[in-house]
Chain A
Amino acid sequence: MRGVAGRVLVRWETLLVVAIVAVGIWSVTLSPFFLQRANLLDLVTPYVFIGLMAFGLTFVVITGEIDISVASTLAVSIVSFAQIFAAGANVWVAALIGLAIAGGLGLVNGLLVGVLDLPSLAVTLGTMAAYSGLAFVILSGEGVATFPEGFTKLGGGYLANDELPVALLVMLFFALVLGIVLHGTRFGRYLFAIGSNREAARLSGIPVTRVRVTVFVISGLMAGVAGLVYVGYFGSARADAAQLSLLDIVTAVVLGGVGIFGGTGSMPGVLLALILVAEVRNGMQLANFSGQLQNIVIGVILLAAIVAGNVIAGIRAGGGRTRPRRSRKEVTSNAPAETQVLVDSNS
């Protein structure tokens, strides 16, 4: 069983790597500067905050839920941080409070979904709007843009002869830590179990409610971390920050092979998908695509990723065509949920 699922995961991630190389070749034809070391290292930097939110969302989606409030959570977190900083607090203290607020907003989502057992789609659609409104209430208008350099280094700084972006390291650090949590701990295996079959998970003694609340807190906290990187990179905190990033976040998660109905997914996949999204956006900028045209392309990629996942799942299930959707679990993207759980509980 391990071999089968392992091969499928490898196959999906191999596809991503192939796509990254292909888009790379396209980019080289657009600009000879693409392959320069500095450009390659900086390729992902503007999208690090999207990646950090995608990592958090990955936890939520694997448990079979969704959190579309992440970008609004980021906005509330950074405007609170900015206001506290502007009021004279130490920038790191303010950053910690901003993080705590992001975690608190995630906790609100988590309690509504986990404890009151409300549908996460409706809850986070509501909190997406509520948080977004809240961000403007806290800081409307101009925004704050006077942060000390020691802080903005987090998102816009460089190490090693001004070549290595700090933000890239931050992202890789969280990819590693969250990857270990997801794939190497009992808590991580709980997520897959709950996402595959929540009732079975409950019956087998997994603290389902606590885990479901926790994943939303993690998602909120990651939006907070993303916010700090965002402020560092863009140098300012505004209430409409990251408002349009939801499409890219969801695309990174889905393109990364995370099954939209829960129970499957991998952190390396999401990381590769983020690199691909960043590379595609970068290429489109080189080709002078307008921002809206870029969104059309990303939207199409998002749809294509799911269709491709369905087709692969259909082929694997035999018959060579996508099977009719009998239950929610059967349309997961790259491996049948049951297989994944067996693998995860055996490892």
Chain B
Amino acid sequence: MITRVRAMKPQELAAAAFRLREIGIVLALLVVVVFFSIRADNFLTASNWQDIAQNVSIVVVVAVGETFVILTRNIDLSVGSIVGLSGYLVAATLAHHPGVPIEVVALISIAVGVGLGLVNGLLVAVARIPAIIATLATLAIFRGIHAEITGGKNITAYQLPDRFLSLAASKPLGFPALAWIAVVVAVIGAATLRFVPWARDFYAIGSNPDAARFAGIAAARRVITAFVLSGALAGLGGFLFASRFPTLDSGAATGFELTVITAVVIGGVNVFGGSGTILGVVLGAVLVATISNGFTLLRLDEFWKIFFNGFAIVAAVAIDALVTRRLQEALRRRRVALVSSQPQAAEA
């Protein structure tokens, strides 16, 4: 009997809870798809699926970076501003120098993101400013820099070379290019979190910052790394954003951080850090983007999406907290059962 009780280790119980989460999202996704298929005429068309795939892709790319940050018990509110600024710089570069190779422009975009992410990381890890305040400030600062650069002007699709504009629409191997990029980012992100030691530290830091430090983890450096990666992926997201929505002004991607954070939180990443998977985040992004698409098809106004995102964050956090508490309660009971050597109690 005791072996049966021991058969379910805490990690396994936690893993079971996460699988439950991912199954839950898939079920929710099914419900949403069925609902919109019935209610919205164009939902089940190939072009609409491609639309969703492209939108999901940008969210996923940025959300993977945000996941790194949230795992360390921090938050990055500035990703929307980074996407906007780097996206604008991509478009501006191509508009003024149409000959620059696309790859170089993408690298510039990522480099901009790295720089801005580094600023966030230094503010949080070195200057010891809480991430919520630091990135609230840099959200405004980056957006301000963006507006100063544009000077009220915007860049339209007409100014951009065709090879850039065709990028978002291209479909290598029958699959949208943006989606390929998102898949690559998600796979690398998941593999990094699973296998790379410094990325494992993200979990350790988020679970218990003090314990992580006492265990010898260079917490400050890891937190900077997480913010730099978040910035880099937001930079890449800006490049994708510019190719998908080639008319950019100083307000580009405003509020995008909310969509990203909604995807991450719905995807099961604990807002207190320490737990969460890229698979969950990808599913969360798909759910958010599908619902957003459905709202558009039903001709609901933009603000219904904002309302839904906010509601979803609160709901996901509430469900998370309830599940976590149940889990802890269950673990505690099992421990009590083991100590008192009365397996029957655990069965009850």
Q: Give the distance in Å from the alpha carbon of A155 to the alpha carbon of B341 in the complex.
A: 70
Smallest Cβ-Cβ distance to A119: which chain B residue: B271
Annotate A302-330 by CB proximity to B: 1 below 8 A, 0 otherwise.
11001100100000000000100111000
Q: Check B303 against A126 for contact (C-beta < 8 Å).
A: no
Contact string against A for B residues 101-133, beta-carbon threshold 8 Å, 1 for contact and 0 otherwise = 000000000000000000000010001111011
Closest B residue by C-beta to A247:
B140
Partner of B310, one of A129, A247, A261, A326: A129
Which chain B positions have C-beta within 8 A of A203?
none
Separation of A140 and B307 alpha carbons in the complex (Å): 14
Residue of A68, A121, A254, A326 ringed by the most chain B CB atoms within 10 A: A121
Q: Residue on A with the closest CB to B259?
A: A129
Residue interface mask A106-147, B partner, CB < 8 A = 1? 000000100011110111011111111111110010000000
CB proximity of B115 to chain A, nearest CB, Å? 16
From B145, which residue of chain A is reached at the shortest CB distance?
A: A296
Question: Which one of A130, A295, A325 contacts B140 once the chains associate, using CB atoms below 8 Å?
Answer: A295
In the complex, A57→B311 CA distance in Å?
A: 22
* Of B134, B138, B314, the contact of A112 (CB 8 Å cutoff): B314
Query: B137 — nearest CB in chain A belongs to which residue?
Result: A299
Contact of A117 among B210, B261, B321 (CB under 8 A): B321
B154 CB to nearest A CB, Å: 15
A331: nearest residue on chain B (CB-CB)?
A: B128
For A129, give its contact among B130, B140, B309 (CB under 8 Å). B309
A137 near B140 with CB under 8 A, answer no
Closest beta carbon of chain A to B89's beta carbon, Å: 16
B275 within 8 A of A: no
The reply to whether A118 and B307 form a contact with Cβ atoms under 8 Å apart is no
Residue among B123, B312, B321 having the largest count of chain A Cβ atoms under 10 Å: B321
**Does A250 belong to the interface (CB within 8 Å)?**
yes
| A11 → B minimal CB distance (Å) | 20
- In the complex with contacts A325-B128, A327-B210, A260-B133 CB distance below 8 A: yes
A316 CB to nearest B CB, Å? 15
Chain A residues within an 8 Å CB radius of B265: 122
A246 within 8 Å of B (CB atoms): yes
Assess the A302–B137 pair: CB atoms within 8 A: yes
Q: Tell me the minimal C-beta distance from B25 to chain A in angstroms.
A: 17
Residue among B123, B128, B130, B311 with max Cβ neighbours from chain A (10 Å): B128
**Binary contact track B306-321/A, C-beta < 8 Å → 1, others 0:** 1111111110011001
A280 to B258, CA, bound (A): 30
Check: A204 CB closer than 8 A to any chain B CB: no
Asked whether A130 and B250 contact (CB < 8 A) given A137-B304, A296-B141, A303-B129, the answer is: no
Are B318's CB and A116's CB within 8 A? yes
A295 touches B144 (CB 8 A): yes
A21 within 8 Å of B by Cβ?
A: no
Complex CA–CA separation, A127 to B144 (angstroms) = 25
A300 & B311 in contact (Cβ 8 Å cutoff): no
Contacts of A4 in B (CB 8 A): none
Q: Would you call B330 an interface residue if the criterion is a C-beta within 8 Å of the partner chain's C-beta atoms?
A: no
Q: Which residues of B contact A130 (CB under 8 A)?
A: 306-307, 309-311, 314
Q: What is the CB-to-nearest-CB distance from B288 to chain A, in angstroms, rounded to a whole number? A: 12
Q: With both chains docked as a complex, state the minimum distance between the C-beta of A113 and any C-beta of chain B, in angstroms.
A: 10
Question: Within 8 Å of chain A (Cβ to Cβ): is B148?
Answer: yes
Residue numbers in A under 8 Å from B307 (CB-CB): 129-130, 132-134, 137
> Which chain B residues lie closer than 8 Å to A112 at the CB level?
314, 318
Shortest C-beta distance, B305 to chain A (Å), equals: 8
Select A121's contact among B75, B138, B210, B318, beta carbons within 8 Å.
Answer: B75
Residues on A with C-beta less than 8 A from B134 are: 303, 306
Cβ–Cβ < 8 Å partners of B136 in chain A: 68, 246-247, 250, 302
Contact indicator A295/B143 (Cβ below 8 Å) = yes
Within 8 Å of chain B (Cβ to Cβ): is A218?
Answer: no
CA distance A254 to B146 in the complex (A): 25
Docked-complex contact B129 and A306, CB < 8 angstroms = yes
Would you call B143 and A303 a contact (CB within 8 A)? Answer: no
Q: Closest CB of chain A to B283's CB: distance in Å?
A: 19
Instruction: Tell yes or no: B301 within 8 A of A by CB.
Output: yes
- For A298, give the chain B residue with the smallest CB separation: B140
Q: Are B143 and A292 in contact (CB under 8 A)?
A: yes
Most chain A beta carbons < 10 A, residue from B141, B261, B318: B141
- What separation, in Å, do the CA atoms of A151 and B232 have in the docked complex? 51
- Return the chain A residue nearest B131 by Cβ: A121
Contact A122 B303 (CB under 8 A): no
**B49, CB-defined interface residue at 8 Å:** no
A185 to nearest B CB, angstroms? Answer: 28
Tell yes or no: A293 within 8 A of B by CB. Answer: yes
Annotate B266-279 by CB proximity to A: 1 below 8 A, 0 otherwise. Answer: 00000110000000
Interface string of B185-213 (1 = CB under 8 A from A): 00000000000000000000000001000
What is the 8 Å Cβ interface bit string for chain A, positions 231-250, against chain B (1 contact, 0 not)?
A: 00000000100000011001
Cα A137 to Cα B250 with chains together (Å) = 26
Give Cα A119 to B321, complex, Å. 9
Given contacts A119-B272, A132-B303, A299-B140, contact A66 B311 (CB under 8 A): no
Q: A136-B306, A260-B130, A306-B129 are in contact. List 14 more A-B contacts (CB 8 A).
A: A125-B258, A125-B313, A126-B310, A130-B306, A130-B314, A133-B305, A247-B137, A290-B148, A292-B144, A292-B147, A299-B140, A302-B133, A303-B123, A303-B129
9 shortest interchain CB distances as A-B pairs: A133-B307, A129-B310, A130-B310, A126-B313, A136-B303, A292-B147, A126-B314, A296-B144, A299-B137
**Can you list 7 A-B contacts (CB < 8 A)?**
A118-B314, A122-B314, A126-B309, A292-B144, A299-B140, A300-B141, A306-B129
Chain A residues at the B interface, C-beta cutoff of 8 Å: 66, 68, 112, 116-119, 121-123, 125-137, 140, 239, 246-247, 250, 254, 260-261, 290, 292-296, 298-300, 302-303, 306-307, 310, 322, 325-327, 331
